Every structure is written in C-alpha cells, then in structure tokens.
Amino acid sequence: MNMTPNFAPKDIVATVKRLVEKGVKVVDEANCGKNWEQVIGSLDAFEFEFGRIISVNSHLNAVIFSEEFNAQYEKTLPLITNFYTQISSNKKLYQAYKNLLKTDLNQQQKYILSEAIKGFELSGVGLEGTEAKRFKAIKERLSILSNQFSKNALMATNEWKKTLNKADLAGFDEDNLAKIKTKNGYEINLQAPIYMDVMAFADNRDLREEVYRAYISRASEVGITSKKFDNKATMDEILALRLELAKILGFANYAQYSIANKMVDSEAEVLDFLQDLVQQSKPQAQQELAELQAFAAVELMPWDFRYYAEKLKAQKFGFKKADLTPYFPETQVLKGLFATIENLYQVNINAVDEPNYHPDVQVLDISKSGVLVGRIYLDAYSREGKRGGAWMADYQPLMGANKPVAFVVCNLNSPSADKPALFEFDEIVTLFHEFGHALHHLLTEVKYPSAAGIAGVPWDGVELPSQYMEFFCYEKQVVKALSKHWKTGKSLPDDLYEKLIASKNFQSALGMLRQCEFSLWDIKTHTQNTDTYAVLAQVHQTTALLPSIKDNRFLNTFGHIFSGGYAGGYFSYKWAEVLAADAYYYVQSNGGIGSQESADFASNILATGGSADFMQQYLNFRGKKPSTKALLKANGIDIKKQ
C-alpha cells in the first residue's frame, strides 16, 4: 500500500514518455481482451500508475510554481493529451468495451461500461481521416492553452505589490495589519485574502480604487499590471477551438457537447433554470442594493460595494467581521471540522508525520472502524507562487489495497509572527466545501477506479457533497466546536452566534444574481460564436445591478472556465446547490448529524460515486426530486413578498 506521493520528481518529461510507451502496449493488449479483467482491469492498473504521476506534477505546478518546473511540465502536456486522445479514439478498444456488454457482468460493471462507451463517442472514436487528426491536434493545443492561461493569471497576480505606511491603511485593525507587516512598512498585494481586506476595510477610497483596478484588470491589455500576461488571445483561441471540436463531433456548439454528459438535457433547460433564479432573486436584490445605496450616501462604485456592505452589516447586525476572527484560530477550526466529519460519517481523522512538499502542508489519515480509509494533504495558506482559489484534486483512487489520496488546497489567512492563523468565517465555509469534495473521493466503496469517488460522477453532481457540507458550518453545535478565542480560550458567545446566523443571508439575492451572471455568461459564451465580452455585456443587462468599469477584465483570470473543468457547465454550482439544500433540510429534519439519513447520504452519494445513475441515487436517498424552493430558502430569498 503506497500513499505517499513523490514530491521531488526528476526528469518528468522522460517519465511521462516512458509511461506513455507502456500505456500504448497496455491498450494494445486490452484490445484483444475477452473479459473484464483483461480489458478494464489492465487499463485501471495502468491508469492508477500514470494518473498519480500526472496528478502530482499538476499539483506541484499549481502550489509551488517555478519557471523551471513549469517549462518541463508544459512539455508533458501534449504527450499526455495525445495519449488520452489516442485511447478515446481507439476503435479496437471501443469495440472491446462493446463486446464486454455481452459477457456476464454485475450491475455496476454494466453501468460503468455504458458510460465509458458514451465517453468514447464524445471523444471522437467515430472520426476518420483529417477530422480525427484535427480533433487530436485541438485536444493537444487546448491543454497547452489551459496551462498558459493559469500561468498568466498567476504571474499577473504575483507581479503587483505596494508598500504603505500605517496612516495609508486607516480602517485596518491590528489583526489585518499583522498580515501585511514587513520590515519596511506594510505591503499589500493581489492575493485574495489581502485584496478582500483592502476592499472591506480601507477607508482610503483612492487606495481601494487603485487596488480594485489592479485586481480586476489582471492578465489583460489594460490596467496597472503588465500587459505581457494578457490572456485575451489565449481565451479567444480556447473558445474557437472548443467550438471547432464540438462541431467535428456533430454538436451545434460547445455547450451542447458539455451538457451531453451531465444530468440536464439541454441548453434550454439550463437557461430556464438560471433565468428563473434571476427572476425570483432580482426584486430582493434591488431592495438590498437600494438599502446599501441609502446607507452609503455616495454614488457606489465597484470599489465601494464591499466597504459599505461591511459597515452596513456591522450596523444592521451589531457586529463586524473582526469580532469573529479571534474566535477561529486554525487549530480549533480544524479540530471542529474534523469532529463534525467524524460525527457525520462515523470516521476518525488523525494528523500523521509524512514527507510533503512545503512546511504549511498537513497530512491527515482517515479511518473507519479502525481501518484506514484514505489520506488528505491539506495545503491551507495563501502564498506567492501558489495558484489562487481553492480546490480538491485526487492523487490516487481506491484500488485493491491502495487507499484513495486527495490534495485539498485553499488560500486562507496564514499565521503571523505573534499569532496563529485566524480564519474568517467565509474561509471556514471554503474549508468545509473542499473537505466535502475530499470525502466524496475517500469514502467510496466502489472497487472499480474509473467509477470510484468523484470519477464518473456527472459534473452537475460533483458539487453536491461539497455544498452539502457547507450547511453544517452554521449549526450551533458545530460553530461551538469550531470556535475558541485565541487569547481567552472561550468559544463564540451565544449572542455573537445569533448575530452571525442573522447575517448569514445578508445581500444573498445580490450574490445569487452574481452567480447566475457567471453561469449565464458561460452557457451563452459556449452557445454563441460571439466575442465573450460582448456576451457578458448582453448578460449584464438582465443580471447586473451594480456599476461596472470599462477596464473590468475579470474573465481574463476566470480559471474555472479557461483552465478548469467548468466550461459550458458553470451552472453546475447552482444546480448542485439545489440538491445540497434539498438534501440538508431533509437530513436536518430527520435527526441531522449522525442520523440514519446522514448515513443514507453517505451510502447513496459518497460511497456509490460514478458507479450508478447519479440522479437515481439521489432519488433513492431523498425519495423525490429536489426543488429550487430549497435553494431559495437556503439563501433567505422570500418570493412570497414579491
């Protein structure tokens, strides 16, 4: 049993080349296979070996970026893409899979095979001649462009810094100042935790505007950061190639292609879903903005919104963000998170001393009934050279005696010289979210790697376990377990907890519109052959209530779409949130944490992974289809008043 990745890989190009050559031979042998083990079993064994190499290389490139490693990493991308394109278009292997359907298989095997056959068809197995060659070239090029997009976004973010004195940072409390203290004063940058602090707390409006403009125009042809990292040409080429790829396969556009392996049936269904949410949310969002505008008593600009929102929230609910953070030091937050997971899913989590790639990283072993289930490498803090955002990546799946291993990556507040890392509540929600993904990967009971954990799960179902976990953050017993004032040792007082809960859905309708805007832009961008910023302007007309500036280029760093897996599927967040809200309220009304219903969620959703129809598994758990009413309720959007 091997659970420790090689975090100091050597000659990664040579390693990938060697494994690709081995993989070609494995595929050739599988083509002649007559049973499950000879075809699927042999491919799973190779994928287990190859997938770990690919995963750790990708992970290191994202979390400890260096130009030297990236140069080698980029050389591996066309090799990997070409190999998988060859597999997915291998007609003999496709036929071997179809032949297996005629053999004696169990229900899981039949489902896995049927989904794999559909995957072959969506990957161009039916293409011939120049079309097949062009499809392969597109896949190779897209892998290179995706990495280029990420690199440009990272470099543009890292490039901008500004040194200030204390007087420049009026509005910052001592905790905020401690995060940015240097020998020469105070240094702000565009890393997400620092950027958010400036937007929320800096009294200096000119400073907020400067930082906002730097942040929102990163990796573009305008703004403060270097133009050499401009991502627009990369984005345009990605979108053009996606459209061409989809048309080669017979789809009208990339959105159709993306939706073909999701639970929804069409772009029209997605648009109806999103437009309904916009219609339901907009009246309340307008009220929320009017309230903020009246409070601010200035013409609101984008760099004003979070600043005045923080002040309005503090006045309205009787507390400010800085009142909460001292109660949530990292050690206690993790202790509470682990206790919640242990009670929810009847597992144990223990930190272990294992080799890793950075001092920040914690290694966690998860066991159930005394038996090791899997491992998580938690990399929590923001730092230079680390890609922004938060994510879970699988290193290895469950296979035989080998347990699943996952990387959980966040960009949270880090410790300072004289105090521990103190997490904001939004950051705690992010932790719960990413651990939800990791548990989906680790708590699988499927013995076939291609359908274990998150593998084989439709993209609009992947976010269900993560968003489901977020709901538990707000339960009183959980918050008490998460909180312990870093100086006094006291848990969060009841009155402050009540204020936190009362404020949970502050400006939630505005937030709903914002997420619907992203989703509508994504589905329309991958439906219409139009400049993506023109599409955004079109969507803006129905979703945007806040002012925008002409130098807004947030799309140029929108990694989920241009370097992640959400193209044509960003709506999955909202759809999965419907499922998550529906699931949570059902579990909560039937005993909550530790109940039979919470165990049913684990067995029907987490344990089953991609080995059965996902919606049918949800119906098995819930007993009926989910409703958008649960989502609106979770966000405090009261449509009865409209």
- Closest Cα partner for 576 from 340, 276, 273? 273
Report whether 171 contacts 116 (CB < 8 A): no
Position 94, amino acid: Y
CA angle centred on 14, ends 9 and 15, rounded to 5°: 55
Per DSSP, what are the bridge partners of residue 189? 161
Question: Of 115, 434, 470, 597, which residue is the catalytic one?
Answer: 434
Annotated active-site residue 470? The verdict is no
Structure tokens at 318: 């009787």
As a whole number of angstroms, the distance between CA 47 and CA 19 comes to 10
Phi, psi of 189, deg, nearest 5? -150, -170
As a whole number of angstroms, the distance between CA 622 and CA 619 comes to 5
Report whether 559 contacts 500 (CB < 8 A): no
As a whole number of angstroms, the distance between CA 27 and CA 596 comes to 44
Report whether 175 contacts 322 (CB < 8 A): yes
As a whole number of angstroms, the distance between CA 514 and CA 508 comes to 10
Provide the residue count of the chain.
642
- Closest Cα partner for 200 from 116, 106, 310? 310
Tracing tokens 């989809």 back to the chain, one arrives at: 246
Tracing tokens 């300072």 back to the chain, one arrives at: 416
Position 108, amino acid: Q
How would DSSP label each residue in 270-290? HHHHHHHHHHHHHHHHHHHHH
Looking from the CA of 258 toward its CB, the CA atoms found within 13 Å total 25
CA angle centred on 555, ends 550 and 558, rounded to 5°: 150
Report whether 469 contacts 606 (CB < 8 A): no
- Closest Cα partner for 357 from 407, 400, 426, 306? 407
Per DSSP, what are the bridge partners of residue 418? none
Per DSSP, what are the bridge partners of residue 372? 367
Phi, psi of 490, deg, nearest 5? -85, 145
Active site residues: 434
